[in-house]
Structure 1
């Protein structure tokens, strides 16, 4: 006779894997913000920029952003925004994340 499947443990394993993937994605997004120098922006401004970018419909504008992003990742224009030693009011602190550069 075959051993019955343990569906509960399989579901738990899948849930754990999904959680790990979500955590990795959040960490990578944070690393992207830091790598581009956008961590110098206060949280309100960064949120506003992202909200605007998410609503833009102009294909030419999006293509320009895509090309600039691709060039950044290829190292052609890897010049992040200048960093300030002072954190702007409203900026999020680094809680156990990467050390500031």
Structure 2
């Protein structure tokens, strides 16, 4: 006879993993804001710019923003990480998996 599966334990494990992923995503978005220098803006300004970005349907603008964001990450990956850019483990805190491009002050 097979051992019955503990669905409650599996569900708790999945919930913990989802919470960890959400926490990591929030941290990476914060790091992205700081890395791009957007932390100099107020929360209201950032929220407004992000709303405009989310509402933009012009594919030309979105492609231009994506290219600019890709260039930003390529520049950062070539530079050696400063001691302040490293976490306790010694690995760079840069987020390479972020999906949003930096905001362009002139187009947003």
1:64 counterpart residue number: 64
1:5 counterpart residue number: 5
SS at match of 1:54: helix
Q: Which runs of 5+ in 1 are unaligned?
A: 77-101
1:93 counterpart residue number: none
- TM normalised by structure 1 equals 0.72
Aligned-residue CA RMSD in angstroms?
1.0
Shift of 1:11: 0.5
2:53 counterpart residue number: 53
Larger radius of gyration: 1
Q: Distance in 2 between matches of 1:30 and 1:14?
A: 24
Q: Distance in 1 between matches of 2:62 and 2:6?
A: 47
Q: Deviations over 1:57-88 (max 9, x none)?
A: 11111111011000000007xxxxxxxxxxxx
Deviation >3 Å, runs of 4+: none
Q: Deviations over 1:23-48 (max 9, x none)?
A: 00010000000000000000000000
- TM normalised by structure 2 equals 0.68
SS at match of 2:4: coil
Aligned length: 76
